[in-house]
Amino acid sequence: MQAETKTSCRKRLNRIEGQVRGLVRMIDDDRYCIDIITQIAAARAALKRVEEELLRKYLHRCVAQAIQAGDNFNQQQKIDEMMNLLGKMV
C-alpha cells in the first residue's frame, strides 16, 4: 500500500474511532435515539468511504498490473478475489 493511501486511511479511521467512542458516550448519557442512529449512519458512511478508497487503489494498482502483465492466472486470481469481496459487501 502506498504511503499516501495509508496516511489517508489512517486519518479517516482515527476519526471514525472517535465517532464510535462518541456513540458510546451518547448511549451512556441516554441521548435521544434518533441522534444516536444519525451518528451511527455517519460512522457507517465514513467506513464506506475508506472501503471505497482502498478498493479504488486495489483496482488501479493490483488489478491493472495483472492485466498489463498478461498473466492469465494472476488475472483470474484478481477476478476471484473481487467476486469474493463483492459477495461479502452485499
Q: pLDDT tens digits, residue range 32-65?
A: 999 999 999 999 999 999 999 999 998 888 888 8
Share of the chain above pLDDT 90, in %: 60
pLDDT at 60: 86
Mean pLDDT of the residues in the chain: 92
CB atoms near residue 37 (< 10 Å): 11
Confidence of residue 11 (pLDDT cuts 50, 70, 90): very high
Confidence of residue 1 (pLDDT cuts 50, 70, 90): confident
Residue 22: strand, helix, or coil: helix
pTM of the model: 0.80
Domains of the chain: 3-89 (1.20.58.1000)
CA distance linking residue 30 with residue 71, whole number of Å:
57
What Rg do the C-alpha atoms of the chain give, in angstroms? Answer: 18
